[in-house]
Structure 1
Amino acid sequence: MDLRQLRTFREVAEAGSLSRAADRLRLAQPALSRQIRMLEEEVGTALFARHGRGMQLTEAGQAFLDRILGPVRQLERAAEEVRALAGAVSGQVALGMMPTLACVLAGPLARRVATEHPGISLRIVEGYTGHLVEWVQRGVTDATLLYGPARELHLRVSELLLEEMVLVGDAASRLGPEAVPFAALAGRRLVLPSRAHGLRRIVETAAGRARIALDVGFEADSFGVLKDLVEAGLGQAVLPRSAIRAEEAAGRLRSAPLVRPVPRRQVVLALPPDRPPSRATTTVLALLEREVAARAAAGDWRRLPAGA
């Protein structure tokens, strides 16, 4: 089994058919089919179920894909780093983010990368804490943003930013600059993520400190759906202010500060403990730091120094 076969397997698995994978790789379909067949012979089991609509991973194929994604990325990155030593920084970087951060950071960070380092290919991977931790540990992503604190994780973690969360309602709500005691959320219909979500844990911790029970009318793990439900008047939410700036400016959502206690989210940057970052990854993380600093200067976040 060689790297070419593993790349072919990955592309066919992602594309769902030999023809689409052949178009992506610009290779003849019979050549791809032969590589997949040779790989299945070497592994000793069928990796795909063939059907009229394409190719679907078998249970063994999914298990094999899960195990090779990280190592294949590391091999590709090693080759990119050696090639980059003689010239401009280049290569692929996969950065994990929570959806509420991706909607704020992904676009500006991508623009910085495209403008200053066009040789770098940046992939933003959205997910929730459990998935983000697993992906960076397995090497699927090169670095990830997580809710802090995260000292118990077996990762290299540095503090990045702190942000206060606010009460969010629809355009008809009377929310405004006046602060709302967290205890006043008792009896209000809320729209929140499920308990697996880091934002939900922050809200429930604050509710415990305020000694109130939460009335959760709707749950949504999609950040876009969460905002849509609030905008439709189906409940209020507790969200980072930076993530609703556009909706507030358009008059579709309103917000108010929360006090006693003030719910805050801490965001940390995590890297694998056993793999040094590539030149491309280090470059992207430096641009990320600059974007966070710009947001902090604009008043969205409070930047945390390393070791805070």
Structure 2
Amino acid sequence: MDLKQLRTFREVAEAGSLSRAADRLRLAQPALSRQIRMLEAEIGTPLFARHGRGMQLTEAGQAFLDRILGPVRQLERAGEEVRALGGAVTGQVALGMMPTLAGVLAGPLARSVAAEHPNLSLRIVEGYTGHLVEWVQRGVTDATLLYGPAQALHLRVSELLLEEMVLVGDAGSGIGPASVPFAALAGRRLVLPSRAHGLRRIVETAAGRARITLEVGFEADSFGVLKDLVEAGLGHSVLPRSAIRAEEAVGRLRSAPLVRPVPRRQVVLALPPDRPASRATMTVLALLQRAVAARAAAGDWRWLGAAGRAPAEG
């Protein structure tokens, strides 16, 4: 089993057929087929089910793919880093983010990377907490943003930002700018993420402190759908202020601060515990630090730390 075989397997799995994988790799299809057969023979079980429309991973094939994605990517990155020593920053960095943060940070961060490090490739991977933790542990991502606190995780963690969450309503809701006691949410129909979502847990915790029961009319784990439902007048929501700035600016949504208690989300930066961050990763994290500091200066967040520095052990 060698790196070439593993790359071939990954490409065929992602493409779903030998012909498409051959086009991507610019290699002859028989050569790819031979690599797959050799790999299956070495492992001792079929990795693909062949059919007229292409190739589909077997259960064993999916399990194998899940286990090799991180290690293969690390080997590829190691070669890139050695070749780049002393020169321009190159390589690919995969950074995990929650959707509410990706909507605010991904654009400015990508523009900075393109302008200042054109040989560096950035991949933003959106997901929710459970997936983000798994991906950074497996090496699918190089670093990730998570809801804090995260001391219990076996990751290197540093605090990044703190943000107050606000009550959000449609243009005709009449809320704001005056503060609203959290207890006033009792009896209001709410639009919230599902219970597996980090934002929902923050809202539920605040409701417990206010000693009220929430009336959830609609649930959606897509941040875009949440905002659409609120804008349509189907209920209020509790969301990070930074994530609705654009809609507030054009009058599509309104917001009001929540008090007694003030719901807050803490965001931390997490890196794998067992491998050092690459030069490319540290470059991206320094740019991330700058983007977070800019939003903090605009009043959206309270900046808690320096993402460009290596985090302490969590």
TM-score band (shorter)?
A: over 0.9
What is the CA deviation profile of residues 33-61 of structure 1, one whole-angstrom value per residue up to 9, with x for unaligned ones?
22112111111111111222222111000
- Give the whole-Å Cα distance in 2 for the aligned partners of 1:285 and 1:74: 18
Deviation at 1:280, TM superposition (A): 0.2
Which stretch has the larger CA shift, 28-37 or 277-286? Answer: 28-37
User: Which residue pairs with 1:5 in the alignment?
Assistant: 5
- Give the whole-Å Cα distance in 2 for the aligned partners of 1:25 and 1:252: 47
Structure 2: which 5+ runs fail to align? 307-311
* Partner secondary structure for residue 153 of structure 1: coil
Q: Does 1:69 align with 2:81?
A: no
User: Which residue pairs with 2:309 in the alignment?
Assistant: none
Q: Letter of the 1:244 partner, please give it.
A: I
Deviation at 1:138, TM superposition (A): 0.8
* Partner secondary structure for residue 144 of structure 2: strand
User: Which residue pairs with 1:195 in the alignment?
Assistant: 195
Alignment of 1:107-118 (within 5 A): 107-118=107-118
- Give the whole-Å Cα distance in 2 for the aligned partners of 1:127 and 1:256: 27
Deviation at 1:250, TM superposition (A): 2.2
User: Which residue pairs with 2:127 in the alignment?
Assistant: 127
Deviation at 1:305, TM superposition (A): 2.9
Structure 1: which 5+ runs fail to align? none
* Partner secondary structure for residue 217 of structure 1: strand
- Give the whole-Å Cα distance in 2 for the aligned partners of 1:293 and 1:253: 25
- Give the whole-Å Cα distance in 1 for the aligned partners of 2:158 and 2:244: 26
Q: Does 1:151 align with 2:121?
A: no
User: Which residue pairs with 1:103 in the alignment?
Assistant: 103
Deviation at 1:290, TM superposition (A): 0.6
What is the CA deviation profile of residues 195-218 of structure 1, one whole-angstrom value per residue up to 9, with x for unaligned ones?
111000000000000000000111
Alignment of 1:215-230 (within 5 A): 215-230=215-230
User: Which residue pairs with 1:56 in the alignment?
Assistant: 56
Which stretch has the larger CA shift, 37-46 or 151-160? Answer: 37-46
- Give the whole-Å Cα distance in 2 for the aligned partners of 1:240 and 1:155: 25
User: Which residue pairs with 1:137 in the alignment?
Assistant: 137
* Partner secondary structure for residue 174 of structure 1: coil
* Partner secondary structure for residue 162 of structure 1: strand
User: Which residue pairs with 2:21 in the alignment?
Assistant: 21
- Give the whole-Å Cα distance in 2 for the aligned partners of 1:296 and 1:43: 52
Alignment of 1:231-250 (within 5 A): 231-250=231-250
Deviation at 1:19, TM superposition (A): 2.2
- Give the whole-Å Cα distance in 2 for the aligned partners of 1:252 and 1:15: 41
- Give the whole-Å Cα distance in 2 for the aligned partners of 1:29 and 1:248: 53
Deviation at 1:20, TM superposition (A): 2.1
Q: Letter of the 2:105 partner, please give it.
A: L
Which stretch has the larger CA shift, 190-199 or 16-25? Answer: 16-25
What is the CA deviation profile of residues 146-184 of structure 1, one whole-angstrom value per residue up to 9, with x for unaligned ones?
000001111110000000001111122111211111000
The normalised TM-score by structure 2 is 0.95
Q: Letter of the 1:159 partner, please give it.
A: E
Deviation at 1:241, TM superposition (A): 0.8
- Give the whole-Å Cα distance in 2 for the aligned partners of 1:26 and 1:170: 52
* Partner secondary structure for residue 299 of structure 1: coil
* Partner secondary structure for residue 296 of structure 2: helix
- Give the whole-Å Cα distance in 1 for the aligned partners of 2:86 and 2:269: 29
Alignment of 1:72-87 (within 5 A): 72-87=72-87
- Give the whole-Å Cα distance in 1 for the aligned partners of 2:130 and 2:60: 23
How well do the aligned residues superpose, as a CA RMSD in angstroms?
1.1
Q: How many equivalent residue pairs?
A: 307
- Give the whole-Å Cα distance in 2 for the aligned partners of 1:28 and 1:50: 18
